[in-house]
């Protein structure tokens, strides 16, 4: 069973490269190799920028691979296996504090709150009460990762104590829950909607709606890459910012149809539900330049989780010039 599951995962990861790199995976001056933390409708603007031809307008090509966790995405960037990492900014904080000589910098933010949904085994009667999680076993991510830390932040703010299961690999969380581990599990879309549609569980709450705004998923690259390829970075940000604008101005059914080729195993109806779920919690930024106040809250969350050795200055790991320039151009 384990061998079969790994085969499915590797097949899915391979498939992610196809829509963005139809001409092949050979590196050239136009290609940006992006390693994403996971594949989710939460990152819809990234896929729409490709579907709408915005990357092509900037004369760049995107080669997309799946890291399966922020630690693995950061490792790919540090090993020069990816040009750009797309994951939680906490990975940059950890790398900076670790003394890296060429620490990546965040140059663009895409999501502004937690994108996971809490899935239970039974449908709640009436409105979900977070207090009902008291003493429950919940699969919520890995130690040091923003998904787990944000979930812990929510429980702490509500004074709810639960047993958080943290020893399961990010890509195997849903399979473990389906196999009987835990009373609840956090899942991103469209996995959560697919899980519910299959009758395997029920979406009971949005973690991001409860936690409030926090810089959740960002684009980052080594300073050396940003210095050498500033034009490509700017073009990429312009394409995605335009896609965010399109997403906010377009009905969810139309968006779902455009996303279908990036989620072959998911129905258009589930994709539509996923898009509507993220729109309802105001998941995406408009301006991809990270705000310092948001970065401060992120460090509050990490510190509360006991994962922050010391505070990091905003300017040391974040650059906003290109994102701010792009925003000014598009929303002039």
**pLDDT for the residue 20:** 63
Domain that holds residue 288: 11-113+214-330
Per the DSSP assignment, residues forming a β-bridge with 163 are 137
Residues 315, 240 share a domain: yes
Does some domain include residue 64?
Answer: yes
d(CA 285, CA 292): 14
Q: How far is CA 124 from CA 127, 155, 224, in A?
A: 7, 18, 51
pTM: predicted TM-score of the whole model, two decimal places: 0.86
Residues 304, 205 share a domain: no
pLDDT digits (tens, 9 = 90+) for 101-137: 889 999 999 999 999 999 999 988 888 999 999 999 9
Tell me what the pLDDT averaged over the chain comes to: 90
**pLDDT for the residue 92:** 95
Does some domain include residue 202?
Answer: yes
Residues in the chain, pLDDT under 70? 1-28
Does some domain include residue 6?
Answer: no
Residues 46, 121 share a domain: no
Residues 123, 87 share a domain: no
Residues 105, 162 share a domain: no
Does some domain include residue 134?
Answer: yes
Does some domain include residue 21?
Answer: yes
Residues 186, 68 share a domain: no
Does some domain include residue 5?
Answer: no
Give how many domains the chain has, as a whole number: 2
Domain boundary among 211, 238, 271: 211
d(CA 150, CA 155): 9
Residues 148, 253 share a domain: no
């Amino acid at each position: 069973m384990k061998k079969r599951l790994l085969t499915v995962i590797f097949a899915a990861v391979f498939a992610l490269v196809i829509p963005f790199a139809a001409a092949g995976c050979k590196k050239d001056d136009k290609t940006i190799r992006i390693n994403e933390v996971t594949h989710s409708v939460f990152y819809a603007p990234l896929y729409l920028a490709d579907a709408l031809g915005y990357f092509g307008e900037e004369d760049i090509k995107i080669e997309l691979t799946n890291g399966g966790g922020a630690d693995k995405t950061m490792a790919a960037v540090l090993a020069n296996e990816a040009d750009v990492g797309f994951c939680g900014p906490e990975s940059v904080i950890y790398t900076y504090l670790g003394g890296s000589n060429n620490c990546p910098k965040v140059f663009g933010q895409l999501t502004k709150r937690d994108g996971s949904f809490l899935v239970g085994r039974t449908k709640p009667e009436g409105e979900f009460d977070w207090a009902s999680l008291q003493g429950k076993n919940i699969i919520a991510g890995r130690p040091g990762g923003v998904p787990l830390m944000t979930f812990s932040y929510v429980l702490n703010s509500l004074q709810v104590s639960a047993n958080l299961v943290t020893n399961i690999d990010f890509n195997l969380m849903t399979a473990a829950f389906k196999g009987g581990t835990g009373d609840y599990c956090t899942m991103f879309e469209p996995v959560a909607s697919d899980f519910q549609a299959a009758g395997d569980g029920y979406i009971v709450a949005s973690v991001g709606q409860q936690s409030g705004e926090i810089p959740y998923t960002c684009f980052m690259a080594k300073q050396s890459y940003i210095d050498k390829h500033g034009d490509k970075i700017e073009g990429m940000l312009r394409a995605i910012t335009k896609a965010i604008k399109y997403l906010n101005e377009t009905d969810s059914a139309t968006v779902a149809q455009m996303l279908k080729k990036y989620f072959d195993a998911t129905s258009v109806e589930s994709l539509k539900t996923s898009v509507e779920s993220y729109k309802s919690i105001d998941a995406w930024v408009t301006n991809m330049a990270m705000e310092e106040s948001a970065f401060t809250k992120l460090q509050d969350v990490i510190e509360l989780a006991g994962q922050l050795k010391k505070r990091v200055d905003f300017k040391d790991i974040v650059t906003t010039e290109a994102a701010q320039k792009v925003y000014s151009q598009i929303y002039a």
